[in-house]
Chain A
């Protein structure tokens, strides 16, 4: 039987506010245990939550970016369960009336574009951390993370492969960092993905029973976990078993998923509106203000790059992979008036060197305007591609401009017809065998001869001119 995998993702996006969602405690990462747990996070008797305005603004940002409905009245609810890292015994979340609903996010899988529907995004508080190192057989509880604001972004079960799920997660990751609402640091847990996975025979309309895979803190684990889980479900069914709804944990070491023991209890969260918090009402003005503060979105920028700079849709998608890269590209393309060349360079040589040095686009030592100087010299024929690479490396290492390096190293491309003709004649004279082969119809011989001319010019001869003159002389 052929099986179809059905995936929906729940992503916990930690918002990059300076203070917690319901108190003025700091959200800074990595502090000494419980030094950022205020009375509110400790859930002392009598303390009360007060909502952080920045959380609402950031949620609206995401809602607008997902082309979603912003619920101008939304309500916080208590989700009740006992867990030592949940000090109140309930999590303040949103249930019936979340702030964001009915959004969508486009993803690119291979060359195919697909729209994934976003069911909802709601505001909630993060829990603390349980540390399982051995404290005489006990667990240590650190509540510094408790109360850190989260947006839980829930997708429809619209994805049909691990690749699609990864593409969606990456697109959402790009979006939230692009919008400046999340630092995107997956190691520190700023962007956490849970996957609801089920399988069904191809063509069947109903969904299969799903299992929720938790603890996926990298895109690689997300892919591995979904593949493992889908295969496990298929094998279970093919072996005559049934998939039971469950919460499972992905173990990166074994690459397997396993049932969570602590979640064996049937859940009954007893949601109800939090009486300590009144309904959140969002005015048209607040939405307009947030809209006004938003950067241009990746999708819009992508379309504009194709339009204004003539780059391919694929390149535009790569260039809008982060706001820093897109910004760099735009500055470079505008200054050089060489959109396609700028795209090729950024995606090719620049990316390669950044990669080699383990650096991010923000750490590129050459600014966009200076690098555009290199493109100008390629475009006007001063530099061959090969020389340009040499100049680029020199620019990176020295910090000097392209023109200064060209001048200093005498790297100017030779386009003087007389000089090139002279070199061509010398090469032809020195390589009679190759000349003969070419005349006998072996096209490849021409390239060998051109290579010799380039070599003789120390790479400075204009390659197009060399080809042209060679053909003339051999005709």
Chain B
């Protein structure tokens, strides 16, 4: 499995990471070498094995439906890039 420049551009776009024309060769090469490493898995037969998503086989704990979080807008928005009237501002969203 070898990625093309086009594949890399698609992955970069999905990842929302700009990759410049100057970078794409190196990125492409490195991703291909990592995928080459990953390919080793395909040599193993894993039929019938249940995928393991978590180290511990336990069930989800649930919390009671109570309000416990106070309003901390001021503290949280102190680190925000751009705020106005309590809203986070972003470049115009077009639906």
Contact = CB atoms under 8 A, between A and B. Distances in A.
A92 to B, nearest CB: 12
A267 to B, nearest CB: 10
Q: Which 8 A-B pairs have the closest CB atoms?
A: A24-B68, A140-B87, A54-B65, A53-B62, A38-B69, A281-B59, A33-B86, A141-B88
Given A51-B60, A56-B62, A139 B67 contact: no
Given A26-B69, A268-B14, 4 more contacts: A52-B62, A140-B85, A275-B53, A277-B60
Nearest to A263: B95
Interface residues of B, number: 36
B77 interface: yes
B73 A34 contact: yes
B89 A51 contact: no
Nearest to B86: A33
A18 B56 CA distance: 31
Contacts of A50: 61-63
Nearest to A139: B93
A278 B59 contact: yes
Contacts of A19: 65-69
Contacts of B86: 32-35, 142
A281 B95 CA distance: 38
A365 interface: no
B95 A260 contact: yes
A34 B77 contact: yes
A52 B65 contact: yes
A18 B65 contact: yes
Among A25, A34, A84, A273, chain B packs the most CB atoms within 10 A around the CB of A34
Given A34-B86, A35-B86, A84-B93, A51 B63 contact: yes
B91 interface: yes
Which size class do A's interface residues fall under? 35 or more
B63 A24 contact: yes
A138 B85 contact: no
Contact of A23 (B69, B84, B87): B69
Contact of B59 (A55, A142, A280): A280
Given A39-B72, A130-B93, A278-B54, A140 B65 contact: no
B64 A44 contact: no
A33 B87 contact: yes
B53 A37 contact: no
A53 B61 CA distance: 9
B1 interface: no
A127 to B, nearest CB: 12
Given A140-B87, A142-B87, A281 B54 contact: no
B67 A18 contact: yes
Contacts of A55: 65
B89 A140 contact: yes
A451 B90 CA distance: 74
B60 A52 contact: no
A53 B89 contact: no
Nearest to B76: A42
B54 to A, nearest CB: 6
A275 B12 CA distance: 23
Contacts of B71: 35-36
Contacts of A135: 84, 87, 89
Contacts of B68: 19, 24
Nearest to A87: B88
A51 B90 contact: no
A56 B63 CA distance: 11
B73 A139 contact: no
Contacts of B58: 278
A151 to B, nearest CB: 15
B22 interface: no
Nearest to A51: B62
